[in-house]
Amino acid sequence: MKKKTVKRAKPTAPSGRYAVGFVGGGNMATALIGGFLEAGICKPAEVCASDVDAAKLRALKRKFGIATTADNRELVARSKVVLLAVKPQLAGTVLEGIRDVATAKQVFVSILAGTPTARLEAGLCPAARVVRVMPNTPALLGKGMAVAVRGRHATPADERLTLRLMRAVGRARAVADEALMDAVTGLSGSGPAYVYRFAEALIAGGVAAGLAPEVSRELALQTISGAAAMLQESGETPERLREMVTSPGGTTLAGLTELQERGFFEAVEAAVVRAKNRSIELGRG
């Protein structure tokens, strides 16, 4: 008997009700979709993404088998949870376009950097349930750190749901005071770039000391990876771990002395504060 071929419906435009709808299909949305599906939080048929970039939508459909659309309004109207994942400068246009289909029955999770919940609530609908999240790029590898804060109308259950979603791509925690989100942005949001810059300098130092670039890179990256694992798994403080590897009159002390003389600690501390202040400026528009 000839096997019957079953044709699968093409997931191109929204139909039915989606568990999660993504407004924006960039890198962070891609990471989150992958994490949600891998963790079993939702099935491909329960996810839809919208974007003005047709190439991004094709890539998402091909990779995950989810539904896609270019129509933000249709996506929002059919999604229980709406994850806003567009560039912050597009917030006004996007909110204006979906305002008439947004309802207080939905949860809006925003990863728009520097965009306050009050602005999102005002742009959506009366009593909009908004949870603001600051994730970071290691979420692309399931190693992210995210911090969430509830808006005025979001419930504790909305917060728990958001944390569950974010934990699919790393760690997540909540804060009660939204003003702290700017500090979060300066530390964990921008922090990966500080680590990458340190890695660049460490590699350059190895080359300056005589190592081949590829050898220096391997040593630097594994050293950073191993040190991070020690910080997370040993139960020791950073100060104690530093002391354990620093012998009086030894090579490590010589290197640390050079860093101290050049203001390394103060520079990193100031970088976090400056990034925080920039986040505040962006939030003011």
What is the pairing mode between strands 67-69 and 79-84? Answer: unpaired
Amino acid at 34: G
Q: What is the helix, strand, coil percentage profile of the chain, to 5?
A: 60, 15, 30
- CB-hemisphere CA count at 13 Å for 269? 5
Query: Are 145 and 48 in a shared domain?
Result: yes
What length is written for the chain?
A: 285
- Per-residue confidence (pLDDT) for residue 113, from 0 to 100: 86
Looking at residue 109, its pLDDT comes to 98
Residues 190 and 270 sit within 8 Å (Cβ to Cβ): no
Q: What is the pLDDT of residue 8?
A: 36
Residue 170 region by backbone torsions, left for phi larger than 0, else alpha for psi between -120 and 50, else beta: left
Looking at residue 245, the DSSP 8-state letter turns out to be H
Helix, strand or coil for residue 49?
Answer: strand
* Model confidence at 175: pLDDT above 50: yes
- Quick check: pTM over 0.85? yes
pLDDT of residue 16: 60
Q: Can you give the pLDDT at residue 135?
A: 95
Cα 113 from Cα 177, distance rounded (Å): 16
In angstroms, the CA 271 to CA 274 distance is: 5
- In this predicted model, what pLDDT tens digit does every residue of 101-158 receive, in sequence order? 999 999 999 999 889 999 999 999 989 999 999 999 999 999 999 999 999 999 999 9
**Measured between alpha carbons, how far is 23 from 21 in angstroms, rounded to an integer?**
7
Q: Which residues contact 23 (CB under 8 A, 6 or more apart)?
A: 50, 72, 75, 76, 82, 83, 84, 85, 86, 94, 98
Does 145 map to a domain? yes
User: Based on the structure, what is the number of domains in the chain?
Assistant: 2
Q: Is 110 found in the same domain as 78?
A: yes
Residue after which a domain boundary falls, among 121, 148, 177: 177
CB 31 within 8 A of CB 144: yes
**pLDDT value of residue 285:** 67
Whether 169 has a pLDDT exceeding 90, the answer reads yes
- The answer as to whether 274 is a domain residue is yes
Based on the domain organization, do 51 and 166 belong to the same domain?
yes
Q: State the CATH number of the domain containing residue 128.
A: 3.40.50.720
Are residues 169 and 206 part of one domain?
no
pLDDT score at 127: 95
Same domain (yes/no): 116, 212: no
Q: Across the chain, what does the average pLDDT equal?
A: 92
**Does one domain contain both 167 and 212?**
no
| Range 161-186 average pLDDT | 96
Q: Please report whether residue 186 resides in a domain.
A: no
| Domain carrying residue 209 | 191-283
168 with 226, same domain? no
Model confidence at 6: pLDDT above 50 = no
Q: How confident is the model at residue 275 (pLDDT cuts 50, 70, 90)?
A: very high
Q: Tens digit of pLDDT for each residue in 193-230?
A: 999 999 999 999 999 999 999 999 999 999 999 999 99
Residues 128 and 235 in one domain: no
Show Cβ contacts of residue 253 under 8 Å, excluding neighbours closer than 6 positions: 246, 247
| Percent of residues, the chain, with pLDDT higher than 90 | 89
Cα separation values, 255 from 98, 222, 251, 261, Å: 55, 19, 6, 10
Q: What is the per-residue pLDDT across 226-274, written as a single tens digit (0 to 9) for each?
A: 999 999 999 999 999 999 999 999 999 999 999 999 999 999 999 999 9
Task: Locate 19 and state its tokens.
Answer: 């568990």
| CATH number of the domain within which 212 lies | 1.10.3730.10
Are 34 and 172 found together in one domain?
Answer: yes
pLDDT at 280 (0 to 100): 87
pLDDT in tens, 73-100: 999 999 999 999 999 889 999 999 999 9
pLDDT at residue 1 in the model: 43
